[in-house]
């Protein structure tokens, strides 16, 4: 029975999650499978790949053919390279010890690259967060400056209005004082005229 190592889709719409399975090459993509070898989640950064290394290697040695995507996943996890080394040992190209050293060196180099990528992603994330914080601080400062300017402008308008009211009140008081002074002056003149008139009458009576 020809077998393939393929992906079986799961997950939600626009958020796929895959099982890595061994299946009959004639079976539907998401149909019945023989064995589950792991999972692949492309929604994380970097993608999360969890594969049974020994199981996948065993099926590769039995002749199971991976799809292009699964081949890339197996290559990333080192299954393809390990299978290549094991074939070299069988052909006598090098010893098992040499093959193990080659694979250990490859594995160490791979882990270093993965760690480097994770560090870079973390650094980029921190830099982006810092940039966003600086932008937010700048926006807040600009907003505060705008509010302060509007407050100062409003305070100036209020001061002008108060000054105008005070000036109007002062003019009104001055006008009222002048009116009172004029009224008092008129009253005094009237009284004087009345007193002067009474004195004239008394004199006329005496002469008579």
Q: What is the DSSP string of the chain?
A: --EEEEEEEEEETTEEEEEEEEEETTS-TTS--SEEEEEEETTSSSPEEEE-HHHHHHHHHTTPEEPHHHHHHHHHHTHHHHHHHHHHHHHTSS-HHHHHHHHHHHHHHHHHHHHHHHHHHHHHHHHHHHHHHHHHHHHHHHHHHHHHHHHHHHHHHHHHHHHHHHHHHHHHHHHHHHHHHHHHHHHHHHHHHHHHHHHHHHHHHHH-
For residue 121, name the pLDDT band (cuts at 50, 70, 90).
Answer: confident
Residue 170 or residue 48, greater confidence: 48
**Average pLDDT for 117-137:** 83
pLDDT in tens, 129-141: 888 888 888 888 8
The residue length of the chain stands at 208
Which token pair is 149? 């300017």
pLDDT beyond 90 at 199: no
pLDDT beyond 60 at 206: no
Residue 145 or residue 52, greater confidence: 52
Q: What is the pLDDT of residue 86?
A: 93
Reading phi first (left if > 0) and then psi (alpha if -120 to 50, else beta), residue 14 is in: left
Q: What is the pLDDT of residue 198?
A: 63
Which token pair is 141? 């400062």
Strand 48-51 and strand 35-41: the pairing is: antiparallel
- 3-79 classified as CATH 3.30.1320.10: yes
Q: What is the pLDDT of residue 102?
A: 94
Chain-centroid distance, C-alpha 8: 35
Entry pTM: 0.59
What CA–CA distance (Å, rounded) separates 137 from 145?
Answer: 12
| Average pLDDT along the chain | 85
pLDDT beyond 90 at 32: no
For residue 153, name the pLDDT band (cuts at 50, 70, 90).
Answer: confident
Domain residue spans in the chain? 3-79
Return phi, psi of residue 44, to 5°.
-95, 165
What CA–CA distance (Å, rounded) separates 175 from 91?
Answer: 122
pLDDT in tens, 47-106: 999 999 999 999 999 999 999 999 999 999 999 999 999 999 999 998 999 999 999 999
Strand 65-66 and strand 3-12: the pairing is: parallel
């Amino acid at each position: 029975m020809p077998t393939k190592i393929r992906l079986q889709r799961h997950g939600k719409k626009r958020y796929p999650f895959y099982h890595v399975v061994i299946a009959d090459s004639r079976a539907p993509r998401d149909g019945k499978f023989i064995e589950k070898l792991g999972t692949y989640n492309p929604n994380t950064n970097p993608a999360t790949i969890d594969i049974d290394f020994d199981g996948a290697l065993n099926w590769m040695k039995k002749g199971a053919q991976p799809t292009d995507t699964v081949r890339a996943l197996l290559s990333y996890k080192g299954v393809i390279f390990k299978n290549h080394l094991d074939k070299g040992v069988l052909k006598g190209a090098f010893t098992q010890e040499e093959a193990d050293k080659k694979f250990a060196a490859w594995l160490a180099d791979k882990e270093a690259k993965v760690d480097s990528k994770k560090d870079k992603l973390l650094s980029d994330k921190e830099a982006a967060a810092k940039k966003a914080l600086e932008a937010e601080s700048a926006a807040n400062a600009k907003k505060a400056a705008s509010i302060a300017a509007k407050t100062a402008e409003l305070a100036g308008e209020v001061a002008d209005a108060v000054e105008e009211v005070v000036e109007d009140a002062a003019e009104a008081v001055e006008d009222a004082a002048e009116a009172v002074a004029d009224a008092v002056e008129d009253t005094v003149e009237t009284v004087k005229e009345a007193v002067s008139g009474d004195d004239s009458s008394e004199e006329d009576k005496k002469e008579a």
